[in-house]
A and B are shown apart, each in its own frame.
Chain A
Amino acid sequence: MTNLSGKCAIVGMGETVVGKRPDATTNSLHLEAIKACLDDAGIKASQVDGLLTNQPLNDSHRSYATKLSHMAGIDPLFATDLALGGATPIAMVQHAVMAIEAGMATTVVCVHARKRSTADPSPGHPIRRGDEHWEEPWGHFAAAGGHAFAAARHMYEFGTTSEDLAHVAISTRYHASLNKNATLRKPMTMEDHQNSRMIVAPLRLLDCSLESDGGGAVLVTSAERARDFPKKAVSILGMGQHHPHWSLLDAPTLTTLGGKKSSETAYRMAGLKPKDMQFAQIYDCFTITALITLEDYGFCKKGEGKDFVKNGRITIGGQIPLNTHGGLLSQAHLEGQLHITEAVKQLRGNEVEPERQVKNAKVGIVSGHGGSLAMHATMILGAL
């Protein structure tokens, strides 16, 4: 088996302005992200030969990778929509690496955008997860509910508290306060968190992420071709996935998730360990998701996340800065696409506000998480 560690690199990245974009559409946000990415990479759409995207949430956007390619002037030799929820942006990069190494494409755009903060009038119908009719008749409607089940169980098994979860939200907000392209920038206190209203107990409002408009894209090519691009290339060192259940009804546990095996695969591919990571851009749809993933990724033992997230360990300057852009909780919720672009910027070393730059960043880990805590993807990135 060939080890794909370091065979491919990210040579371009783009982000849209995030937050409320009332005049934008799902299509325009994707195109805006692609344009920003290609401009950053210094190439034209005609030089791209692959495109991957996340299945949009409306059935008028079927076979969207092909549609988007041609809207952008790309003639793809490889294109597909992936559908792993918030694990998709990382999975797209993984598929790009596999397509490039298989000789099916050389230069692949991975793009994701959503319009969820303001209305996106569309001719189609919304796509749903598919098993809501086994949940909604009993009043279970929201992702907040699924993650609240995990939080309640983590509290029961390990004694984690709402105050412990607050440390994730407070640190992430601090990073957002340093990021000009973040939605919520006012620093958060423990009182703010504890006084925020209960949404689905035990999760409060400030345990929940944002609903956002925006998008991002990255450009993947072989390590050899990466030398021809103007910006510092970011090497893809490790990749993994694990999808340990589909719904809450078949989840063997809600306190260890796909991140454990997914990260083990990625660490093995990269030949690296948790202690080698200098930052972690961890999917934070809810505070509990990030806390569980920090445990699953081996930064601390299972059940010790409640103490690990304290004392500045996960804040810039600490042991493992978590979500240096402000994450889904405070920057924008774009299914973790901006966790990837943020990792690229950190590893380039001169593209974020100096106050939130990880000093001498050489290697970091990125996570994606989707569905009813069901799907997980991991990527380890390094500066070349």
Chain B
Amino acid sequence: MSKDERGRATRRGQPFLEEPEAKPFWASLREHKLTAQRCASCQKIFGFPPQSHCPHCLSNEFKWVELSGKGTIYSHIAYHRAWHPAYQDKVPYNVSLVDLDEGGRLVTNVVGLPPEQVKIGMKVEVIFEDTADFTLPKFQPAK
């Protein structure tokens, strides 16, 4: 991870693994589990990004629960221009908004098919993409 002149990590393009509220999310992904916070009071899924209090009822009691990893595409786009050098040879690539069955939405990639074949309403399931430092949840068409 590169540092700026004040010694702060610059993470353009990378997840912020040390974000206190989100640490368990990134740790579970390392074990190939997609998790979210379930409110102990109203039982609803908090959604993303993780936060200290329930966005539905403001309770601060919750459990991290494993999700089914199934979801539906709310919308999808294809980047034809790379805003970051790491994507220079990846264009055009898909980015999708996936609504998870239990609640919560992720910005993610639907992979395993060309971007123009991705459709709104398509059922998808999670896959895990490991890098040296972190694991990203991505999605493929549900089997």
Contacts and interface: CB of A to CB of B under 8 A. Distances in A.
B30 to A, nearest CB: 14
Contacts of A248: 97, 105, 107
Given A153-B74, A249-B48, A250-B47, A137 B136 contact: yes
Contact of A138 (B47, B48, B104, B107): B107
A199 B95 CA distance: 13
A152 B75 contact: yes
A197 B136 contact: no
A200 interface: yes
Contact of B109 (A134, A139, A148): A139
Contact of A136 (B12, B97, B134): B12
A142 interface: yes
Given A133-B11, A134-B49, A199 B81 contact: yes
A292 to B, nearest CB: 13
Interface stretch (B37-45, B63-71, B84-92): B84-92
A144 B82 CA distance: 12
B58 to A, nearest CB: 15
B76 interface: yes
B119 to A, nearest CB: 8
Interface in B82-117: 83-84, 87, 90, 92-93, 95, 97, 104-109, 115
Contacts, number: 98
Interface string A242-284: 0000001110001000000000000000000000000000000
Given A125-B4, A138-B136, A254-B75, A131 B49 contact: yes
Interface residues of A, number: 31
Contacts of B93: 139
- Kindly state the interface size class of chain B when it binds its partner: 35 or more
Contacts of A140: 79, 95, 107
A39 interface: no
Contacts of A200: 77-81
For chain A, what secondary structure do more than half of its interface residues adopt (helix, strand, loop), or is it mixed?
helix
B15 A202 contact: no
Contacts of B11: 133
A125 B8 CA distance: 11
Nearest to A146: B77
Contacts of B109: 138-139
A132 B105 CA distance: 15
Contacts of B80: 197-201
26 contacts: A125-B4, A132-B12, A133-B11, A133-B14, A134-B15, A136-B14, A137-B13, A137-B14, A138-B107, A138-B109, A138-B138, A139-B95, A142-B79, A142-B81, A142-B83, A148-B77, A149-B77, A156-B75, A197-B80, A201-B80, A202-B77, A248-B105, A249-B48, A249-B104, A249-B106, A250-B47
Enumerate the 5 nearest inter-chain pairs by beta-carbon distance, A residue then B residue, closest first. Answer: A141-B83, A201-B78, A148-B77, A198-B80, A133-B16
Given A139-B109, A149-B76, A249-B97, 7 more contacts: A125-B6, A134-B48, A137-B13, A137-B15, A138-B109, A149-B97, A249-B105
